[in-house]
Amino acid sequence: MSFIRNAWYVANWAHDLQDEPLAQTILGENVVLWRGADGDVRAAEDVCPHRFLPLSKGRIAGNDLQCGYHGLIFDGHGQCVGAPTQAAPPDCKIREYPVHENMGMVWIWMGDPALADTNDIYDLPEYHWKDWGAAFGDALDVEANYLLLCDNLCDPTHVNYVHPSTLGNPDEINAPVTFEDTSWGVLTERLTPNSAPTGFVAAFGNHDGKVDMWQRYLMYTPSVSIIDFGATAAGTGSWQEGGEGRIQVYSCHFMTPITETRTIDRWLHVRNFQSDDPSVGESISEQFRIAFAEDKDILQAVQAEETRHEGRPKIGLDLDASAGLFRLKINRLLRAETSAQAAE
């Protein structure tokens, strides 16, 4: 198992939780999510302990969830609080999962509820800023382990080969990639000064000549990826600030492992230009859709071969270094969780 349990994952888009319970498999566990009459989202194990009907087949009753078979009622802590024809049996309880909404998504804590701290949920400040524009993308369903997606999101070098028409840039093929170990994960960077604009920058920037571009891949453990990229007119600014015709985008991926070989990547993006025009957000999404479908195709093919060649060693390249560091950090977290469990 490669899943870290004591972590917040995105369970779904917040707007998908309306007046019906929603079934979702996360880290191989079946979870039911629902929004109570008070507007708060709740989550529990998706099984009724009576005859094991999934509770997602039931209905929302006030803030609680009622089983669709014989009407047992469960609260947001998984406790049975009502039973037909008798008092609720005191030992009738299912597992609860802490949940919290942020950035238009419902986040779920898959580990020990006592360790859940909502302050640890990822947040991008610019998402909330009035002069930046946010747009929701899709829930990309990929038949691959989440770490294959993380490898890809630590790796700017694949862009020229997998995404030549949108994000790639021939000037960039030999541009150096640097990376650093951070408290939250791994930061991989590629700066491309004085270059021809990529297809994306040409489409959304307003540049006649050469541009300075940056790509910064922020890969947070266990599975949030923020790609900060943009451009300014060459020699007029930096990735940190300033610059003529500065365009900047945060492409955000929230990956939820479903099984060992399936991941849902919910993506959205936040931009500093034409923030009040939703059609601009949609045309960015259109470009991203092309690119992410290209990634999906590659990663599913890699997963299929990995499964077929299980145990066969791979050849390492210098460009693997930052993805390798990220996997090392994941392994450390997994070991820490396993030893904490063994100590209990």
What are the residues binding Fe ion (CB under 5 A)? 295
Measured from the CB atom, the residue of 107 and 292 that comes closer to Fe ion is: 292
Q: Which residues contact 60 (CB under 8 A, 6 or more apart)?
A: 19, 20, 21, 34, 35, 36, 37, 66
53 forms part of the interface with ligand FES (CB under 6 A): yes
End-to-end Cα, the chain, rounded Å:
20
Any idea which residue has 């369970």 for tokens? 11
Report the C-alpha gap between 176 and 173 in whole angstroms: 9
- Measured from each CB, the residue nearest to Fe ion is 295
Q: Which stretch binds ligand FES (CB under 6 A): 68-76, 156-164, 249-257, 277-285?
A: 68-76
Report the C-alpha gap between 329 and 151 in whole angstroms: 13
Phi, psi of 256 (to 5 degrees): -115, 115
Q: Which stretch binds ligand FES (CB under 6 A): 43-51, 181-189, 231-239, 294-302?
A: 43-51
Kindly write out the interface string for residues 71-90 of this chain, putting x where it contacts ligand FES by CB under 6 A and - elsewhere: xx------------------
Helices and strands of the chain, counted as H and E runs: 6, 17
Report the C-alpha gap between 344 and 339 in whole angstroms: 9
Reference 258, options 210, 212, 309, 223; nearest CA is 223
Residue-level length of the chain: 344
Q: Minimum distance from CB of 95 to ligand FES (Å)?
A: 15
Phi, psi of 288 (to 5 degrees): -65, -40
Measured from the CB atom, the residue of 72 and 201 that comes closer to ligand FES is: 72
Note the maximum CA span of the chain.
77
Measured from the CB atom, the residue of 71 and 237 that comes closer to ligand FES is: 71
50 forms part of the interface with ligand FES (CB under 6 A): yes
65 forms part of the interface with ligand FES (CB under 6 A): no
224 touches 124 (CB < 8 A)? no
Q: Which two tokens stand for residue 278?
A: 């939703």
Q: Applying CB under 6 A, which of residues 22, 43, 67, 140 lies at the interface with ligand FES?
A: 67
Choose the one of Fe ion, ligand FES, none that binds residue 295, judging by a C-beta under 5 to 8 angstroms depending on kind.
Answer: Fe ion
Q: CA quadruple 322, 176, 162, 237: dihedral positive or negative?
A: positive
150 forms part of the interface with ligand FES (CB under 6 A): no
Measured from the CB atom, the residue of 46 and 212 that comes closer to ligand FES is: 46
Q: Minimum distance from CB of 240 to Fe ion (Å)?
A: 24
Q: Applying CB under 6 A, which of residues 1, 15, 40, 70 lies at the interface with ligand FES?
A: 70
Q: Which two tokens stand for residue 122?
A: 């990822």
93 forms part of the interface with ligand FES (CB under 6 A): no
Q: Which stretch binds ligand FES (CB under 6 A): 48-56, 130-138, 298-306, 323-331?
A: 48-56
Compute how many residues bind ligand FES; rule: CB under 6 A. 9
Measured from the CB atom, the residue of 111 and 137 that comes closer to Fe ion is: 137
- List contacts with ligand FES (CB under 6 A): 48, 50-51, 53, 67, 69-72
